Amino acid sequence: MALTGKEVEHVAMLARLKLSEEDQKKFGEQLSAILDYMKRLNDLDTEKVEPLAHVLPLHNVFRSDEARQEFSREEMLANAPLEESGLFKVPKIM
């Protein structure tokens, strides 16, 4: 199941990756190979298998609604490359 160049380009755009033509071809082949491998699942008979939403045999894990502060602003901003007046500073978006 070969991905088209356009599909590879679209996926790259969604991931904000700039691919050279060469990369696009290479990743296109790799992605296609992965999809082909996964396609083998289609050959299995899943008639009697319940759809699975989660791999752990668990449900309803909750916390109670109690607020507390566990980190100071200084700690939370400590790893930010840029910061200004207590805010994360990022490149402009438009």
Binding site for another protein (CB under 8 A): 10, 13-14, 16, 53-56, 58-71, 73, 76-77, 84-94
CB atoms within 10 A of CB 8: 21
Q: Which residue has the tokens 């200004």?
A: 84
Two tokens at 54? Answer: 């989660």
Closest distance to another protein from the beta carbon of 31 (Å):
14
21-42 CB burial, b ≥16 within 10 A, e <16: eeebeebbeebbeeeeeeeeee
Burial class of residue 83 in the structure, from the number of CB atoms within 10 Å of its CB (0-12 exposed, 13-18 middle, 19+ buried): middle
Query: Which lies closer to another protein via its Cβ, residue 22 or residue 93?
Result: 93
Query: Which lies closer to another protein via its Cβ, residue 41 or residue 61?
Result: 61
Query: Which lies closer to another protein via its Cβ, residue 45 or residue 59?
Result: 59
Closest distance to another protein from the beta carbon of 7 (Å):
11
Closest distance to another protein from the beta carbon of 3 (Å):
15
Query: Which lies closer to another protein via its Cβ, residue 44 or residue 90?
Result: 90
